Amino acid sequence: MSTTPLRAAMVPFTRQMRAYFAPVNRETETPTIFDPGLSGAFPLASPPSPWVDLGWVEGLERFYDTPTDVVQSGSKLLPAVQFRGPLEARVEFDFREWGKLQMALAGGSEHMNVLAPAGNVTTGPSGGVPLPGVAVLPGSTASELVLGTGALNAFPAGTLVAVDVDYQQQTGYVGSGISAAYVTSPTAVNQDLNYVRRVTFNVGRVAETTTTSLLLVQPLLGGAPASGASVQAVIAFVDREGGAFFQEWSALFVAEQESGGRICFYYPRLSPNPGAASKSTSTKSATGKSAITSGTAANTLRAFLREEWMLLVKPLSSVSLRAAFLALPYIDPNDGQTVLCYRSYFPAPMAAVY
C-alpha cells in the first residue's frame, strides 16, 4: 500500500445529463458550432448563445451504427484492411421537462402553437380561427414587444404569446430566426394569414406590461421580431403523429462533472427519428436502467414509447418526453472528414492527463 498519490483518479462520475439545443440554418444546412476551446467550460445554467438549456435528460443512449468491414486477401482470406461502411449514429433520451422546444424535438415534425380562438366559429385539433394578431411596433426587442397603448389589454401578465410575421403565400421554410415548418404551397396551409405564428418558435410569456409594451419572461428564441410581425395569444402547444416536416437542430449533451472532469457530446445536426431501432451498440449515461452492451440485445426491436412515466409515490408520477434522433453528417473543416458526433473531455484542473 502506498500513501503517495502518484496521480489523481481519472474516473468520471456524473449525476445527470444536461441537454442544450441550437438551431440549424435549414436553408444552408449550417449547424450551430460548439467549439470546446471557446465555450466548453460554460456554467451549466448559462450556456453560450444561441444554445438553449432544455434541462436535465434521463436515459441518454448513444448508438453507434456504422459498420466496420474488412477486406480479406490471399488464399487464406486474411484480413488486409478495414474500412467503415455507411455512417450512422442515433441518440435517444427522455426530456424530463416539458416546453415548446422539448415537445417539438420529441414530436419531430411541425409543432403547433394553439392560438387563442376568436370564438366557437371553427374547431380544430391544433386550433381553429384565432383572434387577429396585434402588430408589433418598431423598437421591439426579443424581450420587449412594443404594441402601443390600447392593444395591451389582450395580453395581461402570464399570457403566452407567439410573435412572427403574417403568412404571405410564400413557399419553403417559414419561421423567423428558426425554421419551424416547410410550406409546399399556399393552399396546403389554406393561405392562412396566421400560419407562421401557428408554428413559430418565437413564443414567450408576458411577465408584465408597461404603458406601451409587453415585457417577456424569456427572450424570443428567434431574436427581435421581424418587420411586420404580429403577436397573438397562445393557449397551448400541440404536436402530432404525422406531418411531413423534420425538425433539425444542433445538440450538446453535458455530463456534469462530479469528480472533476466534464464530458460533452456534440451533434452538429440531429433530426428526430423516433421508432427506428438501432442496429448496433449503445452507451448509456443514466442511472436506473441497465445498459445495452451487445449488438444482439440492441438488435431486438423495441417498442418506442412516446412518454415515460416515473412513479413518485402512488398515484403520483412524473411524465417525460421520449425523444430519438438520427445524426446527420457534418464536414469537419480541419480535415474534410465527414462526422456525425464529437465527444470531448475536459480534465479537472491538476488532474493527470493519461
Partner 1 sequence: MQFAKDSFLMALQQRLAALNPSRVVTVNGATVPAILVVENLPPSSAEPQPNTFYVEWGEAGVIEGHAGNNAIMSLECAISYYTLGTVQSMVDRGRVLGELDEELLGMCQPPNTEKRDYTQSPSADLGTSVFWGQPLLGESKKSAVTDNVERYQDARVERKAQLTIYFFSEVILQ
Residues that bind partner 1 (CB under 8 A): 1-11, 13, 15, 256-260, 348-352
Beta bridge partners of 309: 319
Q: What is the smallest separation between the CB atom of 255 and partner 1, expressed in angstroms?
A: 13
Q: What is the smallest separation between the CB atom of 259 and partner 1, expressed in angstroms?
A: 5
Which residue, 7 or 76, is less far from partner 1 as judged by CB?
7
Which residue, 17 or 251, is less far from partner 1 as judged by CB?
17
Which residue, 8 or 137, is less far from partner 1 as judged by CB?
8
Q: What is the smallest separation between the CB atom of 14 and partner 1, expressed in angstroms?
A: 10
Q: What is the smallest separation between the CB atom of 348 and partner 1, expressed in angstroms?
A: 6
Which residue, 133 or 261, is less far from partner 1 as judged by CB?
261
Helix (H) or strand (E) holding 19: strand 17-23
Q: Is 152 helix (H, G, I), strand (E, B) or coil?
A: helix
Q: What is the smallest separation between the CB atom of 261 and partner 1, expressed in angstroms?
A: 9
Does residue 147 contact residue 259 with C-beta atoms inside 8 Å?
A: no
Question: What is the rounded CA–CA span in Å between residue 323 and residue 304?
Answer: 9
Q: What is the smallest separation between the CB atom of 351 and partner 1, expressed in angstroms?
A: 4
DSSP class of residue 114 equals E
Distance of CA 274 to the CA centre of its chain: 14
Does residue 324 contact residue 274 with C-beta atoms inside 8 Å?
A: yes
Q: Is 54 helix (H, G, I), strand (E, B) or coil?
A: strand
Does residue 163 contact residue 199 with C-beta atoms inside 8 Å?
A: no
Q: What are phi and psi of 100, to 5 degrees?
A: -55, -50
Sole residue written with cell 401578465: 157
Question: What is the rounded CA–CA span in Å between residue 78 and residue 164?
Answer: 62
Which residue, 55 or 243, is less far from partner 1 as judged by CB?
55
Which residue, 2 or 153, is less far from partner 1 as judged by CB?
2
